[in-house]
Amino acid sequence: MEDFRRCLERQERETNERSRRADERNMLQREEEEQVVIAGAMLDEENQGRRHSSEVGHRRNVDRHRQSRVMHDICNYDAYFVQKCDAAGVVGLLPEQKLTAVIRMLAYGASAYQVDEISRMGKSTTLEALVRFCDEVETLYTRDYLRRPTPRDLQRLLQKAKSRGFPGMIGSIDCMHWQWKNCPTAWQGDYENRKCQKSIILEAVAGFDTWVWHAFFGVARSQNDLNVLGQSSVFNDVLSGQGPNITYQVNNTVYQTGYYLADGIYPRWTTFVKSIPNPRSQKQKLFATYQEKYRKDVERCFGILQARWLSIRGAARMFDEEVLRSIMMTCIILHNMIVEDEYDYEATEFYELDPMNTALTQIYERPMGPSGEPFEPDPLVRMVVS
């Protein structure tokens, strides 16, 4: 009887051991399948973006080389993005998973739940990866991509401004509002604008290539551009005597201070050149036309920034103001990276006399006939059946 009991116990232990090994094999197989599915989804997304780039003629927001460089720098700076094993020996998330989820949230304005199908990450992990990524991009690249213009940069800006007819111009300045959807109740009075919406203001200085040279974000209360300027640090170098030495001559008068193109709300300082409100003479009309055209560089920068990073185009969903500031600075830094890699400084700039009849709108004109006149289609003949 005792031998029979020992035999049953041995069989039960062997059965349990076989079940445990089968469970381990199944778990490893499921992990491998998940890794294959994730890698396949990332490969499909990359191929889809490559096909879209070849068809439309535009590059992706962050190409492979730039993405690899950013991922390499971030993994060396913070071990959170490095793939590790937990205490049970389970392999963690890939760096590509976390970076893909973050880039999709920034570029497409997606929520943490929407990127779950691609990255297979939980909501809390995705949000933590987003916050860490923005903090580290701001820490690693602010010095290079949110710097003051170097002498070489100033030379390029001044040469372009002189060819445009504005010697001494170093950019255009303006402000942009970012609506805050989940503004805390205690702060809603501080961040309510004139449209009774909660928003945060960004002040930026952009050049002709839409490179952002100055960014000041996070001003509370219902502020306009003039009040934001009073709190900004755009002229700190000039006030401390460390500003760039720029010399140019206009109407036999020598000036030694650069200036920005601005709209009508800014004060009448020597560092701002504004348009003429009601031009009368032909000279005033020509000056107002060119000033308003080249002042749109910063407006164009805002449009490109919001089109490239939809997270700052829609309403902000975060609750912390510091996180929103980090997201905004990260989008600006990545925007400057793209400008550095993709802008063609050798391309010629031309001016369209008629903005409603440009080279892009001519493709929608009526076709021309052999005689040089617009082609007239044959009239439609209706058949009447009696």
- Listed by start position, the domains of the chain span 19-142, 147-342
| Location of structure tokens 């396949």 | 40
Phi, psi of 82 (to 5 degrees): -80, 140
Q: Exposure string (b/e) for 73-89, b if CB count within 10 Å is 16 or more?
A: ebbeeeebbeeeeeeee
Most confident of 8-22, 193-207, 276-290: 276-290
**The pLDDT of residue 4 is above 70:** no
Give me the pLDDT at residue 343, please.
77
Give me the pLDDT at residue 20, please.
82
User: Cα–Cα distance between 196 and 313 in angstroms, integer?
Assistant: 18
Q: Could you give the 3-state DSSP secondary structure of residue 339?
A: helix
- Over residues 332-349, the mean pLDDT reads 81
Regarding predicted confidence, which is higher, 383 or 76? 76
Greatest C-alpha distance within the chain: 119
User: Cα–Cα distance between 201 and 220 in angstroms, integer?
Assistant: 8
**The pLDDT of residue 372 is above 70:** no
- CA–CA distances in Å: residue 30 to residues 24, 34, 42, 185, 187: 10, 6, 18, 45, 47
Most confident of 145-154, 160-169, 177-186, 325-334: 325-334
**Helix 95-108 vs helix 321-342: crossing angle, to nearest 10:** 90
Here the tokens at position 322 are 């510091």
User: Cα–Cα distance between 268 and 257 in angstroms, integer?
Assistant: 15
Q: The whole model's pTM is what?
A: 0.73
Give me the pLDDT at residue 363, please.
45
Give me the pLDDT at residue 360, please.
45
Sign of CA dihedral 80, 83, 84, 85: positive
Q: Which amino acid is at 194?
A: R
Regarding predicted confidence, which is higher, 370 or 135? 135
**The pLDDT of residue 293 is above 60:** yes
Sign of CA dihedral 339, 344, 347, 352: negative
Phi, psi of 161 (to 5 degrees): -65, -40
**The pLDDT of residue 253 is above 90:** no
- Over residues 131-154, the mean pLDDT reads 91
User: Cα–Cα distance between 245 and 229 in angstroms, integer?
Assistant: 22
- CA–CA distances in Å: residue 102 to residues 81, 109, 308: 12, 10, 14
- pLDDT-derived band at 301, boundaries 50, 70, 90: very high
Helices (H), the chain: 2-56, 64-77, 95-108, 116-119, 123-145, 151-164, 225-231, 236-239, 282-294, 296-308, 321-342
| Location of structure tokens 């001016």 | 351
Give me the pLDDT at residue 60, please.
45
Here the tokens at position 251 are 């109407």
**Helix 95-108 vs helix 64-77: crossing angle, to nearest 10:** 120
**The pLDDT of residue 357 is above 60:** no
Contact 161, 177 (CB under 8 A): no
Closest CA to 273 of 364, 376, 171: 171
Question: Percent of the chain having pLDDT more than 70?
Answer: 79
- How many alpha carbons lie under 13 Å from residue 71 in its C-beta half-sphere? 20
Q: Exposed, middle or buried: residue 156 (CB in 10 Å: 0-12, 13-18, 19+)?
A: middle
| Location of structure tokens 């002040």 | 203
- pLDDT-derived band at 173, boundaries 50, 70, 90: very high
Phi, psi of 338 (to 5 degrees): -65, -40
Residues forming a β-bridge with 219: 201
Give me the pLDDT at residue 184, please.
86
- pLDDT-derived band at 303, boundaries 50, 70, 90: very high
